[in-house]
């Protein structure tokens, strides 16, 4: 008797396993590429960090060496902490007076630019008025003006004003005045500051302002107590960028402060010129440290806010 099998043709064949058993082998090259990319990224970051940290550390160590140690091997560690280099730089080379001038000019410039830019950015971001497009176009055009190209016209303009006021101020008022230099710093950085703050103010939902207005808050109070704290990352960002621009400026300060009031950058150049004959490298490197350390301290204090300002696009509603 013939037995008819009820199984379908091909039922005894092993079925292909589509459950993903072969996925690990396919995903392994992808994971290897991802791991290689991370390793290369970390290696690049470490290389960049070393490229910045090693010269700074070398300048710091060189500022503690005696004059005789530089004529041996300049790459050796200092034999002691010769802090007299800093005393000589502050007192003999007048770096202390230049440091105070730089601090005064930088802080006053930051106060002026924030006092003007924060209300202006808030108005541009939130108000509609006649000529708003022209104002925004002018601010945008100001971003493409390099202040180093217009420093000579600024100098000639200030000289002309001093000549006009020679009867009132015989010794001059606008040239060799740190306050005027701060005003020039602030005026030339206003377009960038307003542009960045305006973009951040526009990213903040208007619900906060409407709720405060219903509670009876004025526009000025809304700006100072609600909008400004919420825009703190952007404010911190512009403070850092403007601080670096003011502190590291050389051309404008050299042109507008030709007298005894010098900033650190100009004073460091004078110290470098003087050291070509004296060969007192310890004092020269001490002057470099005096210029570098404030920048590192400011960045260390506000780096968290800076990262927030760069990464955050505003407050999500």
**Which of these, 43, 51, 182, lies nearest to 115 by C-alpha position?**
182
DSSP annotation of 173 reads S
Alpha helix ranges (H) inside the chain: 23-62, 84-87, 95-126, 132-142, 151-164, 178-203, 207-214, 219-222, 228-230, 232-247, 251-256, 264-278, 281-311
Task: Spell out the per-residue pLDDT of the chain, length 317, in tens.
Answer: 444 444 445 445 555 555 554 555 556 677 777 888 888 889 999 999 888 888 888 888 888 888 778 777 767 888 888 888 888 888 888 888 999 999 999 999 999 999 999 999 999 999 888 988 898 999 888 888 888 889 999 999 999 999 998 888 888 899 999 999 999 999 999 999 999 999 999 988 888 888 988 888 888 898 988 899 888 888 988 999 999 999 999 999 999 998 888 899 998 887 777 666 566 788 888 888 999 988 888 888 887 766 765 565 444 44
Chain centroid, CA 309 distance in Å = 12
DSSP conformation letters of 247-280 = HT--HHHHHH--SS---HHHHHHHHHHHHHHH--
Give residue 276's pLDDT: 62
Q: CA geometry: angle at 270 spanning 265 and 273, to 5°? A: 125
State the sign of the Cα–Cα–Cα–Cα dihedral 139, 140, 146, 149. Answer: negative
What's the confidence (pLDDT) of residue 217? 86
Asked if residue 123 lies in contact with residue 221, where contact means CB atoms within 8 angstroms, the answer is no
Closest CA to 135 of 121, 147, 145, 148: 121
Which pTM value belongs to this model?
Answer: 0.81
Tokens standing for residue 79:
């034999």
Token digits of residue 271: 């110290």
Q: For residue 89, what is the DSSP state?
A: I
| Two tokens, residue 148 | 């180093």
Contacts of 249 (CB under 8 A, 6+ apart): 185, 263, 265
The confidence score (pLDDT) of residue 3 equals: 45
d(CA 40, CA 19): 34
């Amino acid at each position: 008797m013939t037995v008819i099998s009820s199984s379908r043709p091909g039922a005894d064949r092993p079925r292909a396993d589509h459950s993903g058993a072969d996925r690990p082998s396919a995903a392994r090259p992808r994971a290897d590429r991802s791991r290689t990319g991370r390793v290369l990224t970390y290696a690049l970051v470490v290389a960049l960090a070393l490229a910045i940290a090693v010269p700074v550390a070398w300048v710091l160590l060189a500022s503690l060496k005696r004059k005789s140690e530089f004529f041996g091997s300049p790459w050796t560690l200092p034999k002691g902490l010769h802090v007299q280099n800093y005393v000589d730089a502050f007192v003999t080379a007048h770096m202390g007076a230049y440091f105070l001038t730089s601090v005064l000019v930088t802080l006053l410039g930051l106060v002026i630019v924030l006092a003007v830019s924060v209300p202006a950015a808030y108005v541009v971001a939130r108000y509609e008025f006649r000529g708003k497009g022209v104002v925004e176009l002018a601010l945008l055009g100001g971003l493409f003006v390099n202040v180093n190209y217009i420093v000579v016209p600024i100098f000639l303009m200030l000289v002309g004003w001093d000549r006009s006021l020679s009867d009132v101020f015989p010794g001059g008022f606008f040239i060799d005045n740190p306050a005027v230099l701060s005003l020039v710093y602030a005026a030339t950085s206003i377009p960038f500051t307003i542009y960045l703050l305006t973009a951040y103010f526009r990213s903040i939902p208007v619900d906060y302002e409407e709720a405060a207005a219903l509670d009876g808050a004025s526009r000025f109070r809304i700006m100072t107590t609600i909008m400004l704290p919420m825009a703190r990352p952007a404010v911190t960002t512009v403070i850092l960028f403007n601080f670096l621009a003011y502190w590291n400026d050389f051309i404008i300060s050299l042109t507008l402060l030709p007298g005894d009031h010098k900033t650190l950058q100009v004073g460091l150049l004078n110290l470098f010129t003087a050291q070509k004959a004296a060969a007192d490298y310890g004092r020269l490197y001490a002057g470099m440290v005096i210029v570098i350390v404030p920048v590192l301290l400011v960045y260390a204090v506000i780096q968290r806010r800076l990262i927030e300002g760069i990464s955050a696009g505003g407050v999500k509603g």
